[in-house]
Amino acid sequence: MSNERKLYEGCRVKGFELRIMREEALKLKLDICGEYPAMIYPYNDNFVKETGERFSGDCIKYRINGKEYTNIYGLTLSAKKEGGTKTELWIRRSLEQGSDLPEIIDEVTITAQLLRDKYENRYYGTFRITIKRLVLTADETDVNSSGAVIGPLRYYVEGVVSVDVFSSTGETIA
């Protein structure tokens, strides 16, 4: 393990991407920029790294306008701050007979939780992302696919995005 770390002074997050997919760990990518180049400084502390269960796309529930959808394979929430903030939600869903996702969505709720026998207080639990007022901007589904059709829909977020985090006992952390 390296005893040096990089410090980005005066940095800020210019954008982010949160990706949730079935059979994968949740991924968060941050686009960080700053006024000054990174500086290397010595670092002597050692942290215990834990392995094992993480938030994954298999323990996620998706509710759109109050209805739970089981055909959603995953999603990507991205926000970019260049000349204003642009937030998009890409929903990958398997095509089903009958109703598909609506073109205008009032509210999407994504709830992720760890399913484990024991938890340390305020260490594991549940988080919920609520996204309001979305408008479909593109349907990029390839219906001529030879296998299972997982079609991406791109929505523009007109409303707000909020996140709630809960401990394993159900109390609100943030």
Model pLDDT for residues 61-78, shown as the tens digit of each residue: 999 999 999 888 889 999
How is the chain split into domains, by residue range?
4-167
Q: Band of the pLDDT at 47, cuts 50, 70, 90?
A: low
The helix/strand/coil state of 136 is strand
pTM: 0.76
Q: Encode pLDDT of 51-60 as tens digits.
A: 555 566 678 8
Residue scoring higher pLDDT (124 or 68): 68
Distance CA 54, CA 28 (A): 13
User: Would the pLDDT of 94 be above 60?
Assistant: yes
Arithmetic mean of pLDDT, 124-153: 81
Distance CA 78, CA 32 (A): 14
Q: Which two tokens stand for residue 139?
A: 């349907």
